[in-house]
Amino acid sequence: MATASKNLSTYNKSELPDAKPFKFGFVVSEWNSEITQGMFQGAFDALTDCGAMKENIVRWNVPGSFELIYGCKKLSESFDMLDAIVAIGSVIQGETKHFDYVCEAVAQGIKDLNVSGDIPVIFCVLTDNNWQQAKDRSGGAHGNKGTEAAIAALKMAQLKKDSAFYK
């Protein structure tokens, strides 16, 4: 297991850009809300710890992980001044192939948004085999994938800013 000996919440604030000038968007799935709310809280806490202002963080909810793609697309169109968007979802393996279709579609959809858009979209979707694995990665034994996604969003916001300088 890739995260067996890794805490997803570990970061060194001194090595990160100041988050104060950046604006962040979140699209959060309501499905498995205990898990997704935990990841959002971890992300929110990490960004504010790194200097982000609460009023520069926008959150939209969508029904499930499949809807994250449309939510991120519309969020980017509605708030073109955002520096990064984080898509937060949780898909837990069941007894049917539904899991495979949803995971594949969401991963490809978020990839497509990154290829075609101007705002980086961070993939923060847990694809776990069971509820315990999801809990362990949303503020439990392995830390919080939301925290890790927030740090990725901060780094990508800085990259977006730096790349605009060179145009």
User: Which residues, other chains included, contact 158 with Cβ-Cβ below 8 Å and sequence gap of 6+?
Assistant: 17, 22
Which helix (DSSP H) or strand (DSSP E) does residue 143 occupy?
strand 143-144
User: How many Å apart are CA 37 and CA 89, to the nearest integer?
Assistant: 9
Parallel, antiparallel, or unpaired for β 121-128 and 143-144? unpaired
* Residue ranges of E strands in 18-161: 24-29, 57-62, 84-92, 121-128, 138-140, 143-144
Of 20, 74, 98, 161, the active-site residue reads: 98
Contact criterion met (CB below 8 Å) for 99 and 91: yes
Using CB atoms within 10 A of its CB, is residue 137 exposed (0-12), middle (13-18) or buried (19+)? buried
Q: Report the chain's C-alpha Rg in angstroms.
A: 15
Eight-state DSSP code of residue 32: T
**98 belongs to the catalytic site:** yes
Maximum alpha-carbon separation in the chain: 50
Could you list the active site residues?
A: 98
